[in-house]
Amino acid sequence: MVIYLVALLVLTIIILFMLNFEYYRHKLGVSTSHSSDSMRQAILDEILDSAPQNTKLKIVDPGCGSGDLVLKIAKSIPDATVVGLELSPIPFWQAVLKKKISGQKNTIFLRENFFEYDFSDAQVIVTFLPIPVLHKLAPKLKSDMKSGALLLSNAFQMPEDWISYKQEMVQPILKRYLYCYKA
């Protein structure tokens, strides 16, 4: 009897997870995937090379998923504050849990819609968003970002009025680039 109850509980949890991901994928037009290890490293290296110097950095990941990129950057740049924005509840709570387990204090996870977020005090923004969503967000980023702020986009290019200062091939097999822009 107990074994059936446990199996039912596990099955219910799996179904709830799947429903959550499917519902938010449909609603937001983005699935919760995450940047590869090599892409995370390339993003971190680019921040260390090109972000404004002599200032306490604020780095924002709009659509942070379960927070791995935020936590990696925060661990490597302890003086920075790294903010992850995520609307989908399960990845959001996974990120919060990972923060608690890792004890990474310089991270902030907010369950917020990034279209309503003010990016004006961020020196670095990192994105992994498909073209329709990224291009919808682009005008807001353009008006919010202050001169010298960086935008690093995994895999997807900004609209044509954004000129990249660098395009780095990070995953040759997938032909996946990191696109780097400066306001």
Ligand X SMILES: C[S@@+](CC[C@H](N)C(=O)[O-])C[C@H]1O[C@@H](n2cnc3c(N)ncnc32)[C@H](O)[C@@H]1O
Q: Is 177 in the site for ligand X (CB under 6 A)?
A: no
Q: Is 115 in the site for ligand X (CB under 6 A)?
A: yes
Q: Is 114 in the site for ligand X (CB under 6 A)?
A: yes
Interaction mask 127-146, ligand X, x per CB under 6 A: -xx---x-------------
Q: Is 85 in the site for ligand X (CB under 6 A)?
A: yes
Nearer to ligand X, 116 or 160 (CB): 116
Single residue of 42, 47, 51, 69 touching ligand X by CB under 6 A: 69
Q: How far is the CB of 67 from ligand X (least distance, A)?
A: 8
Rounded Cα distance, 80 and 69, in Å: 14
- Which of 138, 30, 134 is closest to 86 using CA atoms? 30
Q: How far is the CB of 34 from ligand X (least distance, A)?
A: 3
Rounded Cα distance, 138 and 54, in Å: 27
Asked if 32 contacts 65 with a C-beta cutoff of 8 angstroms, the reply is yes
Rounded Cα distance, 149 and 119, in Å: 10
First CA to last CA across the chain, in angstroms?
62
Could you say which DSSP state residue 174 is in? T
For residue 89 the two structure tokens come to 């509840």
Q: How far is the CB of 136 from ligand X (least distance, A)?
A: 9
Single residue of 86, 123, 176, 177 touching ligand X by CB under 6 A: 86
Q: Is 28 in the site for ligand X (CB under 6 A)?
A: yes
Could you say which DSSP state residue 130 is in? -
Q: Is 153 in the site for ligand X (CB under 6 A)?
A: no
Contacts of 165 (CB under 8 A, 6+ apart): 180, 181, 182
Which residues of the chain form contacts with ligand X (CB under 6 A)?
24, 28, 30, 32-35, 61, 63-65, 68-69, 85-88, 91, 113-115, 128-129, 133, 154
